Amino acid sequence: MLSKDELMWVEKYRPKKLSEIIGLQHIVESIQVFLKNPKTMPHLLLSGIPGTGKTTVALCIARELFGDNRKTFTLELNASDERGINTVRERIKGFSRYSRASFGNVPFALIILDESDQMTRPAQTALRRIMEKSSRTSRFILICNYSNKIIEPIQSRCAIFRFSKLEKPAMIEHIINIAQKENLSLSSGVAEKIIEYSEGDLRYAINALQTAAAYGEGEITEKIVLQVVGEANPKQVQLMLTKALGGNFIEARKMMYDLIGQYGFSGSEIVRQMQRELMKVSYLSDSQKAELTSIIGEYDFRLTQGANSDIQLSALLAQFSKYGK
């Protein structure tokens, strides 16, 4: 079992108050208006990409409403594990049906459903009716990645907050602060690389930082970060692109196989890195990058349809070689 110091840093450094949350000021300010007078608080639907703070916001709301009594007045469920209609009828309905003694000026209990877009449609239909009937005694916070998977009657009963990618400077500052608290040597350049590879997912960035700390023994370098996040050296990928665009198909294909063998990449991962590094090639115009991106998109689609990755990646490099000529 992990000691207190070895706990996952995502939980260790999770904000406890809404005011501590970074990069979501517009959402935090809107929710704080409701918390000033909890009786005005509607059901909430928090939607957006993973790792942007949806669950953290929900837990902070529960803490600010109920303080140390949070567990008494809050029901937390992960709807991906308990997503059937029986859970809705038994656990959720049972919790929401009866009015608990008010806590201060909060006249309701709180039900947090994480990953609610994984709930079955019959379960969502049953939930819609419960939300309507129990509005006097309960408030729901639904958390999901894709709001379009939530039925319209539920969406219309909620105030919807959409979480976008966190701002890059705020993320960099946050993981540098964590590194300082953990007595790690982390330069701003390496921190920027971690954020770049996380693609707006702060949870992924913090987990990568913790794993890199275990590898680096106090000092975190770009090489260690690349090992942790499972990415090839950008210079190697750019060189492969340069050789392909220069018409040297055989050499580019050899480099591709070296990357696959060295890092154990799948075809989709190679394609994703090619797209990322293509945008950094300075000698290509915007129109040329657009045409090459269209080619990459075609082969990415073929890979998702189950085509042989070796053949498709070789064909992709062949297309680049023809384009270069």
Q: Distance (Å, rounded) from C-alpha 78 to C-alpha 92?
A: 12
What pLDDT is attached to residue 2?
Answer: 38
Question: Quick check: 186 and 176 in contact, CB under 8 A?
Answer: yes
DSSP string, 12-49: HT--SSGGG--S-HHHHHHHHHHHHSGGG--EEEEEES
Question: Quick check: 11 and 210 in contact, CB under 8 A?
Answer: no
What pLDDT is attached to residue 115?
Answer: 87
* Residue spans of alpha helices (H) in 199-248: 202-216, 222-229, 234-245
Per-residue pLDDT of the chain (325 residues; tens, 9 = 90+): 333 445 688 888 888 888 888 888 888 899 998 888 888 889 999 998 888 889 999 999 999 888 888 888 888 887 666 656 666 676 777 777 665 555 567 888 888 988 888 888 888 888 888 888 888 888 899 999 888 889 999 999 899 999 988 888 888 988 899 988 888 888 888 888 888 888 788 888 888 888 888 876 778 888 888 777 766 677 788 888 888 888 889 998 888 888 777 767 778 888 888 888 888 888 888 888 899 999 999 989 998 888 888 899 899 999 988 887 6
- Give 194's contacts (C-beta < 8 A, 6+ positions apart): 175, 205, 208, 209, 212, 225, 229
Tens-place pLDDT, residues 230-281: 666 777 888 888 888 888 899 988 888 887 777 677 788 888 888 888 888 8
Question: Which of 53, 109, 120, 129 lies closest to 83 in space, CA to CA?
Answer: 120
Question: Quick check: 128 and 157 in contact, CB under 8 A?
Answer: yes
Between the CA atoms of 213, 216, 220 and 221, what dihedral angle is there, to the nearest 10 degrees? -140
Question: Which of 224, 217, 227 lies closest to 183 in space, CA to CA?
Answer: 217
- The enclosing H or E element of 159 equals strand 158-163
Q: pTM for the full model?
A: 0.74
**Residue 2: DSSP 8-state:** -
- Give 161's contacts (C-beta < 8 A, 6+ positions apart): 27, 30, 31, 44, 45, 46, 47, 57
Q: Residue 310 phi/psi, 5° resolution? A: -60, -45
Domains of the chain: 4-163 (3.40.50.300), 168-229 (1.10.8.60), 234-324 (1.20.272.10)
